[in-house]
Structure formats: C-alpha cells, structure tokens
Structure 1
Amino acid sequence: MSDARGTGPLRQALHDGWTLRAVSGPQVPPEIDGVTVPATVPGCVHTDLLAAGLIPDPYLDDNETALAWIGHTDWSYETTFDRPGGTHQRLDLVCAGLDTVATVTVNGVEVGRTENMHRGYRFDVTSLLQPTDNTLAVRFDSAYRYAHAHRDRLGDRPNAYPEPFQFIRKMACNFGWDWGPTLVTAGIWQEIGLHGWSVARLATVRPLVTLDGVDGRVAVQVEVDRLADLPLTVRAQVAGVTAETTVAAGQRSATLTLDVPRPALWWPRGHGDQPRHDLDVTLHGPDGDLLDAWHRRIGFRSVRLDTTPDAHGAPFTLHVNGVPIFVRGVNWIPDDVFPTRVTRERLTHRFDQAVDANINLLRVWGGGRYESDDFYDLADERGLLVQQDFLFACAAYPEEEPYAGEVAAEAAEQVTRLASYPSLVLWTGNNENIWGWHDWGWQEQLAGRTWGRGYYLDLLPRIVAELDPTRPYWPGSPWSGSEQIHPNDPAYGTTHIWDVWNTDDYVKYRDHLPRFVAEFGYQGPPAYATLRRALTDEPLAPDSPGMAHHQKAIDGDAKLRRGLDAHLPAPRDFDDWHYFTQLNQARAIQLGVEHFRSHRGLCMGTIVWQLNDCWPVTSWSAVDGDGRRKPLWYALRRAYADRLLTVQPRDDGQSGTGGRSGTDGRSGDGFRTDAGGLVLVAVNDGGQPWRASVTVTRLTVTGDPRAKTTLALDVPAYGTVNLALPAELTRPDEARRELLIADAGDPAGRALWFFAEDREIDYPPAEYDATVEPADSGQLVRVTARTILRDLTLFPDRLDPSAQVDDALITLLPGESTTFTVRSTPPLDPTALTTRPTLRCVNDQQPHVPGPVPGTRAG
C-alpha cells in the first residue's frame, strides 16, 4: 500500500520511434524486401509504405490491384522505450486496437497474441521492463493466411464476395465490397501505451441512464481490477448529485445510483436541444488516495422501439422521450479504408454535411467498425441518432471457436464502451445475413454448418440485455421480428429494397409500402474533380480503364445505362453521361424518400444507402470519397426537409406505380406515366402546425397556364395531410408539353409533376441570361430563365477542385431567376461558370440559342 502513496495512475503513450518491415510473403517486391521504414502509430502498413514513397497511392487508377501482396505478407513493427518513473505496483501494456493477427513481445518475451481488430488488449509487463532501452515488437501475420486456415478447418461458408472476410474478426470491407477496394490492412490502428497503477483500477464504468417520469436516474455499474484485498471507495457525480459506495475487500463490482430531479432532456435534432452533463467517477483507496478516474458526458433521454402488431402487420417506430420519431437516415460506411486518416476534424465536416442535409440518424453498417468515441461524441453534440450494427455483413459466419469467444468478448467490450452515449438508440445484430440464409441459396451450401443464427438470436441479445438494457436490440437488418415471417417482409419490421437498383426502374419504389426502409439506394459517379484527381484516363469515358476499375458493382454501368434509357435523352459525350447519371441518382432517391414520407404513420423511417464513401468510386453515396457533395446530397436536403410538399399518385387511395415528384425549395420536378389520380401530400416533421395556402397550376413548358386552384393547408406538428387534386389539374391536354406546380411558398417551396419523361418532353432549347459578381470568398452566379430550365445545376469543381456551390437541381420557369453562391479560393472565369459543361440543365441537350454573353458585374 505504501508503494502507491503519492503516485497516481500513469498513462504513457508509446507512439514514437516505430519502424516497419516485411517479415515474409510470397510476392514482396525487391525494393521493399529487407527494407526498414519509419512507421506512424497509430497507423497501418499501407500508409507507412505510402509515406516512405515505396508504393503508389492505392486509391488512384488501378494501383489497388498491384498492392494485393500487402495483405498476404507478414509485417513487424518495433520501437524502444524507457521504463516510466514512479512506484506503480503494476505496469500494463494496453493495446486499444491491433489489426489483426498479432504477436506482441517485450524484450524478446511473448506477452500475448491477438486475433480480433474490434477489441482491445491488456498485458502485464511489470517484470519484463528494464530501466532503459526496452524493445516492443508487434508482428502481424497475414490476415489471408489466418482466414484461409480456419476456412479449411471448419468448411467454407457462402458470402457476397470471393473473399474470406467472415473467417476473421476484422473490418470486412477491407476485403473489397461493391463500393470499396480490396486493401487488406495490418497495423497498430489505435492507441498503444503503458498504464501504471497500484492497489486497484477501474476496469469498466458503465452508466445506464433512464428516466422515471420527469426525473433522471443514472445507475453507474463499476468493475475493478485489484492487486490487494482492501476496501475501496467509488464516488460518482453528475448534475450536482453525488453518490458513494464501498467495494468491500474481495469484491470486484459495485453500483452507484444517482437520482437527478427534472434534468433537461436530450433530444434528436429537430425535436429539441442536446444538453449533456459531466459524469465523473473516481476510485479511492482506504486512505483516500485517488487510484483511478473516469469521465464522460451523458444525456438524459429514453428510447423505446414500438413493434406492436397492428392491422397492417407490425411497425418499427423509434420513440425518444415518448415521442415517435420519423427517421430521416443514411447508412454510414468507414470514411476511409485506413481508419487513422479519419480524424475528428474530418468527422466534424461529414457530420455537418449530414445535419445540413436534414438527416437525423446514421446507421453504422455491419461490414465496417464500431465507430470511434469522437464519432459518438459528435453525434451527441449534434443530436444525430445512431444505429450501430454488430459487425456481421453479407455472409454466413462460423459459430465455432475461436469465433464464439471472440464475438462475445468484442460485443461486451463495445456495448460497455458505448453505453453512455445518448445518440446511440439501437443495436442491430447483422446486415442481411438472416435474409441471405432465407433467399440466397445458403442453406444448401451450408449443409447444416453454423452460419451466425446463434449470435443474432441468442448471444448478442443476451449481452445487450445484461449490459445495456436501456436500448432496444434488433436481430438483423432487414428483420421482420419473427422467424415465422420472412425477414424482408415489408409489412413487418425493417426492409431493404434492392430490386429497384438491381432489376427495375426507380419508379418501382412506389410499389413498396414498408413499415421502415433500412436500406435503399441508387448509384451515381463522384464529382468531376474527384475523378480527375483519381484517374489518368485520357479521355474519360464511362468504360475507360480507370472508370471501369472504380465501378465495383456487378453490372453497375449497365444498370446506370438502363436508368438513363428509361428517363433521359441519350448522352452525347462523357460530360452528358456524368451529369445525367448524377441527376438520375438524385431523382431516384428523392422519389423514394418522398413516397415513403408521404405514407408517414404507416412508414416511420428511411435510411438511404449511403452518405459517404471511403475512396473515389462510382457508388450510392451522397458525398463522394473526396468529401464533395454530389447532386444526390442536394436532393436529400429537400426530400428530408422538415416541411415537404409532394405530388403523389394514389390509384387506390394508398399507392401507385409510375410517376416522379420532387421539391427543391424553389421548384421540384416529376413525371407521370400511369392513369391514376394525383394527390398533394404535405408532410410536417416540425414541432409547430403548418398552415399555408397552396396554389396548384397546370401549365405548359413555355409557361402558359391551363388550369389552376388554391388549397388550404393545415398540417399538425409531426403530421401529414393528403389533398386530392381535381381532374382538370391532373389530366393534361398535351402530356409531352405540360407540368403541374404546387406552390406553398417558403420554406416548403414548390412541388412539380411532369406528365412525361424527359426524353419525351417537347422542351424548348434552353435560353437564359447570366451574370457573375464577386462576393465574400467567392462569386454570385445569377441565372434568369428565358425558357424553362430543367434541373439547373452548377459544377464549379470543374474549374477549381476546391470550389463549392450552395444549391443544385433547380427548375426555373420562363422569367424566373436563381442565384448560386460559389465558394472558391481563386475567382473563376465568368464565361466558364455560366456555360456547359459547368452550368447544366436537362434541356441544354437541345440546340442552344445563346442569349447575351454572360458577363461580370461589379459587386
């Protein structure tokens, strides 16, 4: 005991002086074989070799393929350090994350082996340390060799890709996905260091936050590691309330309960504020000395999942603080293949993009990682809800050892780590694995072998119930709530909709009436500047070598072409193809979101696949791999706005096929191909009633009115109103030349409905006037339409990779104007800013009749 007096706990990072070398591998290039390079810790092999100039950037062209040998090679990291001062009874080597199959030695003595990227490790090295020049080495065996050995031992199991990712507890998408490269990493990917302590330490602190009426309760579950059988004191404090308890000699756990009267509640964004409170927990010895401390910010809120059967099946509705929340979500994948490049600053930017697009939930997909504390802290701060998948995706997973033990340890560690974050509202057992077992031919291939059912329906729900009973658990995405009901039944629980992208036109979204859509998506290429950075193709073409390599989806380009053929004029060149495929992606998702939101009450959530990318690629993302917003992002911002005005087909009062609607704050767009009726739907996800007068007009594409009416809107908070439209509005005289406009004024803007496809509409050639004037940090581009301009979009990144624009996909009628705000470091050429291919609209496919030469006006 006397050893510890005056010596508090020690935490010393060991991040300096590391080197890296290849140990063995069948294809190590001669310029790397036997070479030792500096290593950055935390980091990984790829980033170290890239920093040393020994490999090309794996994200460019097809370099990924030439670097496949890295994942088949063994690697060794090594550093030296001095023993820290102090009189700590115990010195532990703490490894927060090792990727993945590692052997750790200190001064030549093996202290441990690891085989799980998703958990941390702690090794007692007290007796091994000398005063100076201690050698720490971490050898990483090939992830492929490990996975193949267990596959051969246990028997193969089906998965979505020809890679063995289900046979190793590692980030699955390292092995390639239909949006990601095959870059199998190794390295010390999280913090590593020494922890010195005496007498006892806090092993885990797990606060369970609940509400009892208007009052809050925090049950702080504490576990301690001991070196002495002495009584210990644990103290906790939050929001001015304190509690203290004794951990008797021989005991290792305790619970402290703090009752907080009437705390301010934490709410999802759009429903209230996000107050948080400092929770401090300290551990003291019998003489009062501080032995250890823990700190976290918590929020008071309740969460409940309503799946009570009803006349339509069974809902899937999240309730926060007793209020049902319509989820306006996006799926989140790792933001970089190399996790240490995902800094807090980068996450902050990505979260700002999510909030600015009116998103309120991020689903952390099961083929990536358990996200970082920075990720969750930012979600708490911004009121973004989080659904965290356990890490199983698109494969049959073995349940034999060592996997069962690793999964149990991993799940317990991550549930404990994340239990304090109010933004986390749902644990999900897996991504598409139960669905795969039902529908993807797995049962015959498995021939009775394990596939993961025991994890999703037994082990994981038991761990969540024991360690985090304050949150719901859902066995899979998708999942119907029962093994007796098909896992992707749209009337029950959660649904994934992929027939639209894979086999059907996107208007088929209107055939679906799901209770909750956890995945649906449509592809589009990244920004032009992103392509130009990543590819050396000359010229760029949809099928040029680099473009083809950066399209990972099966038949992806054919599916993009199918979508274009159904809706838009034939592209004349790559610039047309790029604009039209991005436009089609935005239209597809806007159609789906508006349809699902128009059935608010029956459907209570949409989670679009996907927000982000991990490298430059043609994919389903709204923000590309270089962080640039695609047109889809702007469409999401409109479709997810608190107030949505949309025109929808209602053939039988419930659903319809064909047609497209949209809103864009100024104007939206849509088309109709069937003969059913149309309704105007107003969706209010705000906390105040929405009362407005809506003018609905049928007019020609040249601006001539044909019919008109005015409707009164009175939409309650968090409610929906459907207004049938009279036949004189919904039956055009000339479908190829007419459209419908519903205008409620700002902030809901307008909803437009076109009666024919773009490729069929008799658009006049695009005519407009444009001016450019300087503004703070950029320029203002004002466009005044002399004819209709359909889905007007400005792409300033074509002129400067740093340039950004504030809006996109704006449809102008003759005489209307809009102003784009462009942010860029250098001023951009006014003529280039206001002409094709930087400024685009659908009907610039028609022969362009130039107006006055665009010019610069002094501002």
Structure 2
Amino acid sequence: ITIWLLIAFTLCKYVYGDERLELSLNGKWILQNSNGSLLFPAEVPGCVHSALLKQGFIQDIYFRFNDVAYRWIVLDNWTYTISFSPSNEAKQRVRLVFEGVDTVASIFLNGVITGNTDNMFRRYEFSVGKMLRGGENNVEVRLLSPVVYSLERSQAHSSYAVPPDCPPPVQKGECHVNFIRKAQSSFSWDWGPSFPTLGLWKGVRLEAFNVLRLIHLSAVPVYNSSLSQWVVEVEGLFDAVEQTTVRVSLSVVELWTEEAFTVRFLPGTHKCSLSLYVNQVRRVCGEGKGTAVCLCLVCFIVVSFSCEFPTQVYFRTVELVQEPIAGSPGLSFYFRINGKPIFLKGSNWIPAHALQDLVSPADVRNLLQSAVDANMNALRVWGGGVYEQDLFYDLCDEMGVMIWQDFMFACAMYPTESDFIQTIREEVIQQVRRLKSHPSVIVWSGNNENEAALATDWFKIPVVQRPQYYTDYVSLYVDNIRAIVLEEDGSRPFLVSSPTNGAESQWEGWVSRDPYNLHYGDTHYYNYTHDCWDWTALPRARFASEYGFQSWPSFSTLRKVSKPEDWSYGSTFSHHRQHHAEGNQQMLKQAGLHYHLPDSPDSLQRYKDTLYITQVMQAQCVKTQTEFYRRSQSEIIEGKGHTMGALYWQLNDIWQGPSWSSIEFGGKWKMLHYFAQEFFSPLLPVGFEDQGVLLVYAVSDLSHDLHLKVSVYGWSSVDAVCTVVSGTALVGGGSAVVIHKQPITALLAGCGSGSCTRLTCLMTYHLEDINGCQQGPINHLFLSSPKEAHGMLKPNITFSVQQDEVRRYTINLRSSAVAAFVWLDALDVPGRFSTNGFLMVTRNRTVTFDPWGPTSTKQLVQALTITSLRDVY
C-alpha cells in the first residue's frame, strides 16, 4: 500500500505585516577541546568526530580498532564558537534557535549564559534580543562529555539502581546510557560500535520579528466514522510578541471548499488548532499506488499580507485491530489501512552511521529504495537510535513505506526525576508534532523491549524492589508519553512497548505477566542454537516484529577497514568486531547443521568462503521463518496463528561488521536481501514438509486463480526428473491457502523407479495462472540437508558479460550441474544484481547488473567472482 504526503511549505518574507529576519549560523565554526591543545574549523551541522576526521586529526573511525582507540574524544569536553554580525534593524523579539544539540551543553552569547541543553532529540530556543550588541557578536556552545555526564547522573541517583549499569563487555561500550537523552546505541550495541558523539548535529539560526512567528504547522486528516466525514486537523504553533488577531483561511482547492477563522493571540507561545470538514474525497492514486485516497489541501494564513503554506495531504485511515478470533483465545493484532487488513512485510531500521552528519540523502534514498525493491511495505524505526531526519519520512511517504515509530528508549530501565521527565515530555511533544503529518507513520510505540525486560526480570531486580520499577515504567510510558501522544495525535494508534500484548498488557496494568504470549500483540523471537530449518519450533505469533540471524558482510566491504593480518575468521579483528557473545561460533554451528564448512587449504580463500557460508545460513534461516509467518496469516492451529506481520531484524548496518542486517554498510545487498525480494513477493508459493507430507501454500496479496507446478531435479543433472501440476484454485487477496498436498514418498515414486531419493534429489515449485504463465518467484525445497546430499557436483559455472545501451550489464551463466546458492560478487565495483544467491537448475541463466557509477565491461569481468555451495569444500 502506498501512503503519500508531499510537503511544500512556502515561507513568505512578510509575516503578519512584519518583515521576519533570519540569519543562518550554519557553516564554519571554531572547535576546541578543554585545554585548548586542539583548535580548528568545524562544520555545523556536524559533530566533533567528523570535524577531527575532516581536519586529519583522526583516520576513518571504522578502521580496525579505532572505536577503542578514539575513546579519548568522548571523555573530553569541547567548545564550538562562532562570530556573527546581525542586521542593524531592531526587532522586538530575537530567538537563537538550535534544531539539535548533541547533547549536554551550556550556551553563551557574548559571554553571558543564555541556557542549557540536555536532550539530543529536542529543538532549543533562547530569547537573546537584549543580549545582542551592534557589530560583532559571539556564540559559544560548551559541550560536556556525555560519558562523564551519564556517570555523574547515575551517581546522583543514589536511592536505587536503574539498570543496566553497563553494556556486556563484548560490546566494548560505555556505561549509564539510560541517564542521558541521546541515541542509546551510541554507547555501543550488539551490532555496532561505541561512538557517543558530541556536536551541533542540526542547524543553528537567529530569528527576529516584531509581532508573530509561526514555529510549526501540521495538517492531519482524520476520518469521523460517526459522521462519515473527513476532518482535516490543522495545527499551528505561534510565538506572539503582543496581543494580535489573525485571520486564517483554510482552502481545499480541488473541491473549492474554504473556511475562514479569526484567531486571537496573547503574548507568548500558543498552539492554534483548527478543523476543516471535508464532505467528499475522491481517489486520485493509481492502481500501482495502493489504496490511499488523496486530495490536495492548501492552507492560507492571512493578515495584512498574504502568507501561503500549500500542503498536499493524503487521506488515509489507520486502525490497529485487536478483537476476538474464532477458534482462538486472545485477540487479533493487525493493521487495517483504509479499511483493508494489511500484512506488514519488512524489516527494522537502525541508524545508518554512528556520525549522523555523514548520512547523506543518497544513503537514505538508497536504503529505502532497497527496501521497496525487496517488496517491503513497512519498516520499524527502532527505539535505540534516533528519530530520523525529515527526508527519511518524506521518502517513506513518497515510496509507500509504512513506519512503525518507536520512541527512543531501549532495553533498559530509566530514571523518573522531574527534570528527566520534563525534557522527555518536550522531546515527545516536538517529535509528534514534527512527524504526525506524515501518513507513512502508522503507529507510535513507547519503547523497545522494556516491558519484556521488566516482566521477565532481565536485570535480576529483587522482588521487594520491583514495585518501584513498575511505578517508574507506568509513569514514563503511560502517564507521560502515552498521554502526550493521545493529546497531540488522534489519527493513529499507540503501543506502550514492543513486544507487547497490546490491549491485554493494558488490562494487566501495562506490564503483562507474559509479554511474549502468542495469543496477543507482537513478538520478538531469537533462537540461535535450535535448527532454523525446523519450522515446528517457530512461534505462531499474531505479529512478528523482530527475528533474525547474524552473518558477516562480504570480503570487499571488510577489506576497506582491515589489514591482511585480519583476514581470518579467528583473528583478533574478527573477535573485536563481533559484539554479540558467542556470535561467531553460533553462526558456524548453525551453518554446520546443513552445510559443509569451508576447508580450503588457502587461508584467505577459507576466510572468504566462511563469510559466504554465514550469508547462506542467514538467508535460508530468515527465509524459513518469514515464509512460516506468511503462510500462517489465514489459519489458526492449536489456538495460534492469524499472523499479520513479519519485520525481520534488521535492514541496514551502522558499520562493517557481523550483524543481523540484510544490507551491508555502504549499501551492498547481502544474500538475505536478495532472498527477501522473493519471500516478500506479492505472490509466493511456500512449501514445507510436515510428517512426510509436502504442503505448498499459495500466499497472495491480491486475488488470483492459480495452480502449482512442482519439478524434481537430481543434484547431478540440470534436467528435471519429473513434473507435477496441481489443480487450479482461487487464492483470495490477503490470504494463504493450501494449493498442493502430497506425501513425499509418493511424489518421488512418481518420478520413476529408483530415480530419486531424498539424498539424490531436490524440488522447485512455482505458481502459474490459468494461461500457464509463471506468477511470482520459483521457490525450492531441499529433501535433505545439502551436506548429506548425494551426487552434488562442482557446477563449474562459466560466464560472459555484455553491456546494453543503458549501461546495464547482462551476465550469461552456464552450469554443468545443479548449483545451490549461486553468489555473484562484483567486489569493489558498486552496484546491484537483478537476482543473487539463487538455486540454478538449468544449464543457462541470465542475470543483470546495474552499476552505481562509471565502469566498463573489462572492469566488471575482472572483478566478477561466482561461488556456489559446492565450491567452498
């Protein structure tokens, strides 16, 4: 489903009969450390690390062990300074505006303190009119070490502990991150480094005016079901110098609808809320853009001079449906968008870089486009990172990516002192007002895993002390965050945590006895030791919002941040990069269940092959789990099922290291992401074995008449041994139905006497329409673990490359035998293949490659490597 909001605010020069002056203070500042030994130019927006990097004081922060080597940066205090000369024209009100300060700072203007900051996620404004002087003025931002500050705040909270104190040692991180309002993952996580940044990470400006200033404007359409009518709730936040009256005109241009309001402002900051009732809305989105209904709303704000703010609004409704299900205890848990139940297909988003100012628009667009190209319709912005930049949400609106938006609290308890609560309240107000006009945001969630942490006692809190933590939890997430969200935004649902039992958690007092109850809410599930191919151990959840397996990135990605002595799986570098306890061993143990582990006598080749086998393992494991969730959407088994979402952990990487991601740092797709392109396909056949019986489900987002074609192949040949075609069945939209059921022994027997066994053969299957045309991808099912297969030969794949007129390259592959997990790697030639990691059961196959920059056929041929499962042992 596509959900759009296209914003084009046109800020006028004249505001309410008053010329508004704005002076940007972005650009070159001077940055120095506490003792003045380092003093150099620094860009704003930016941070200390990126400034040091640009001036050559440090190297690539991700190179080898620099995350530890550069710890000295965050243990120091730093000061940003800039001089400027304001306009000579006098104004009654002058504001010094900081869109984002990271994090704890004192702000001085001409040597006089104007205020303090303690929250990375807030905008700060300071009244400075009386402090300005003619000629040159000086702004100074004195930043405190976030590590030292967090320690001091923790020590000051002496009445009881607020766990956890520190991350696990394997993460090589800093302590007490829950005492500071900044990206929680910046102190380290199990997939990323510790870089607690400092800086002015968003813009700085001076604003001057005489009468009235508009700080914020939003327009949110809400459907009133009792009136069968749309209401556009327009909200403005104004700063008034003196009592003034404003005429506001709201116009729906396409319907020639207009309503005028007169608003009276007293001095101070005020929120103005207006409602425009719309009697008819027509659909203007095409078939390819889903079911969003769209209409252009233009708001005119007028006093003596016209100030126009045209805003295009896309009307859509969001419901989180939690209601009884026939044949099952508990409640459903799914999203209904514009009246239609939607299965959410996607992943989880983490910060794209440890230094936010180095995340380019191209980086954001490439990652989101990669999600869309993998048939995802949803992403969860995880609660341990940052509220993403405006461009992220604009692109999600444009691309039709629905957003599950966490607030930035993760895997910890938090203090509830009044000043901490107050800064969080302002954070939540500002972020909800900033983001609520984006229809891509379909749900707010108060935190990541904190209900589960409290309910299942992650931190070993003594029983007698637990009531205090329950009280703090409810105070923070319910009495404050939830209350603010419900007041500020009535257009979308709010969940207190993820995972949660939703309505059941609320009924139990907000902290459920079992937040992982499969009859309610959403579930996070990880199991690295159990055989991931065994679907019977998977949770038949209402909604799967986190699950996954680790893999290593490709050698070409790791080579950029390492040296030759690092290129082995057991190296100090490999150990250092792994921030998940026993992670490297878990990957090999899981891979060893079904594949021979690489054993090349060449140590470098063995390292490359091991990186490859971790990606094979990850892709197949997540494929099995995602297909299980997709086929579970239409059925209830033993009271469980009706699964309506699969968001695997995680989409992107923050650096070059092992993680759960499907996209490597830099944008290169792992094998998992190519698999996701297929297992999230709108039309998908899902096959599995249940007690010796082959079952194949047809999973469809839209209604189709379909039949199934099953082909059986021997490992040693590229010619099908036999083919079976099922009868035609109608598969309704948003459903999963059994389209083929047959004992495997009968299927193999039908291929001819003794020609196939579980060890010598495998099968592929795909859906076809009534005309025999293939619909959706070709899927596969191994009848035994590949490491036990008989007759698997080295395929000796050869290739040729041709370039077409649009700079796309066609790669023609030829194989002498069935080849599993065929992996094409262009090494340092950036780009994307049309498919990868595939099962090749034909002699010839064509794959295309789209380069991201200038290259040549010769360069691609020299760079291209092809690996299959049989090649690594």
* TM-score where L is the length of structure 1: 0.88
The 5 A counterparts of 1:667-746 are: 675-686=691-702, 689-701=703-715, 702=717, 703=719, 705=721, 708-727=724-743, 728-729=745-746, 734-745=757-768, 746=774
2:133: which partner in 1?
130
Identity of paired residues, percent? 28
Shift of 1:548: 2.3
Shift of 1:590: 0.8
1:793 aligns with one of 823, 846, 854: 823
Shift of 1:127: 1.1
1:507 aligns with one of 523, 533, 538: 533
CA RMSD of aligned residues (A): 2.5
Distance 1:640 1:200 in 2: 50
Distance 2:557 2:180 in 1: 33
| Matched AA of 1:514 | A
Would you say the 8 A contact 2:681–2:777 is kept in 1?
Answer: no
Q: Does 2:23 correspond to 1:12?
A: yes
> How many residues in Structure 1 have an aligned counterpart in Structure 2?
800
Would you say the 8 A contact 1:411–1:460 is kept in 2?
Answer: yes
Distance 2:731 2:790 in 1: 36
Q: Does 2:245 correspond to 1:231?
A: yes
Cα deviation per residue 1:186-207 (whole Å; 9 max; x = unaligned)? 0000111011122122244343
Distance 1:695 1:86 in 2: 78
Shift of 1:108: 0.6
Distance 1:236 1:322 in 2: 28
1:856: which partner in 2?
none
Shift of 1:735: 1.6
The 5 A counterparts of 1:235-250 are: 235-240=249-254, 241-248=257-264, 250=266
2:382: which partner in 1?
365
Cα deviation per residue 1:301-330 (whole Å; 9 max; x = unaligned)? 010000113224222100110101100021
Shift of 1:638: 0.4
Shift of 1:716: 1.7
Distance 1:267 1:169 in 2: 40
Would you say the 8 A contact 2:698–2:738 is kept in 1?
Answer: yes
1:752: which partner in 2?
780
* More displaced 10-residue stretch of structure 1: 722-731 or 735-744: 722-731
Distance 2:860 2:426 in 1: 60
Q: Does 2:386 correspond to 1:356?
A: no
1:474: which partner in 2?
495
Shift of 1:55: 1.1
Q: Does 2:839 correspond to 1:811?
A: yes
Q: Does 2:658 correspond to 1:646?
A: no
Structure 2 unaligned spans of 5+? 1-13, 169-174, 600-605, 635-641, 750-755, 769-773
Would you say the 8 A contact 2:810–2:849 is kept in 1?
Answer: yes
Shift of 1:570: 1.8
Distance 1:265 1:364 in 2: 29
| Matched AA of 1:64 | D
Distance 2:555 2:219 in 1: 47
* 623 and 143 in structure 1: CA distance in 2 versus 1, 3 angstrom threshold: same
Cα deviation per residue 1:144-170 (whole Å; 9 max; x = unaligned)? 121111111214322371521100011
1:220 aligns with one of 234, 238, 242: 234
2:795: which partner in 1?
767
2:324 aligns with one of 296, 301, 309: 309
Distance 1:364 1:729 in 2: 47
* 829 and 337 in structure 1: CA distance in 2 versus 1, 3 angstrom threshold: closer
Shift of 1:39: 0.5
Query: Match of 2:593, SS?
Result: helix
Shift of 1:814: 4.7
2:339: which partner in 1?
322
Distance 1:4 1:420 in 2: 23
Cα deviation per residue 1:391-423 (whole Å; 9 max; x = unaligned)? 100111111222111111111111111111111
| Matched AA of 1:301 | R
* 37 and 299 in structure 1: CA distance in 2 versus 1, 3 angstrom threshold: same
Q: Does 2:39 correspond to 1:36?
A: yes
Query: Match of 2:461, SS?
Result: helix
Cα deviation per residue 1:339-382 (whole Å; 9 max; x = unaligned)? 11223222111111111010101100000111121111111111
1:662: which partner in 2?
none
The 5 A counterparts of 1:282-293 are: 283-285=301-303, 288-289=304-305
Distance 2:52 2:843 in 1: 58
Would you say the 8 A contact 1:231–1:246 is kept in 2?
Answer: yes
2:171: which partner in 1?
none
Would you say the 8 A contact 1:268–1:385 is kept in 2?
Answer: no
Query: Match of 1:538, SS?
Result: helix
Q: Does 2:34 correspond to 1:23?
A: yes
Shift of 1:264: 4.3
1:379 aligns with one of 396, 404, 409: 396
1:121: which partner in 2?
124
1:177: which partner in 2?
189
Distance 2:860 2:655 in 1: 32
* 265 and 50 in structure 1: CA distance in 2 versus 1, 3 angstrom threshold: farther
The 5 A counterparts of 1:521-536 are: 521-536=548-563
* 833 and 19 in structure 1: CA distance in 2 versus 1, 3 angstrom threshold: closer
Would you say the 8 A contact 2:212–2:239 is kept in 1?
Answer: yes
Shift of 1:729: 4.4
Would you say the 8 A contact 1:4–1:88 is kept in 2?
Answer: no
Query: Match of 1:380, SS?
Result: helix
* 114 and 560 in structure 1: CA distance in 2 versus 1, 3 angstrom threshold: same
Would you say the 8 A contact 1:331–1:607 is kept in 2?
Answer: yes
* 271 and 313 in structure 1: CA distance in 2 versus 1, 3 angstrom threshold: farther
Structure 1 unaligned spans of 5+? 25-32, 652-674, 847-859
1:434 aligns with one of 430, 444, 451: 451
Distance 2:487 2:445 in 1: 16
Shift of 1:280: 4.8
Query: Match of 1:415, SS?
Result: helix
* More displaced 10-residue stretch of structure 1: 373-382 or 531-540: 531-540
1:193 aligns with one of 205, 212, 225: 205
2:544 aligns with one of 482, 497, 517: 517
Would you say the 8 A contact 2:812–2:844 is kept in 1?
Answer: no
* More displaced 10-residue stretch of structure 1: 816-825 or 202-211: 816-825
| Matched AA of 2:191 | W
Distance 2:89 2:618 in 1: 61
* 534 and 313 in structure 1: CA distance in 2 versus 1, 3 angstrom threshold: same
Shift of 1:103: 0.5
Would you say the 8 A contact 2:317–2:338 is kept in 1?
Answer: yes
Distance 2:514 2:332 in 1: 15
Would you say the 8 A contact 2:814–2:844 is kept in 1?
Answer: yes
1:669: which partner in 2?
none
| Matched AA of 1:391 | M
2:290 aligns with one of 272, 282, 285: 272
Distance 2:815 2:846 in 1: 9
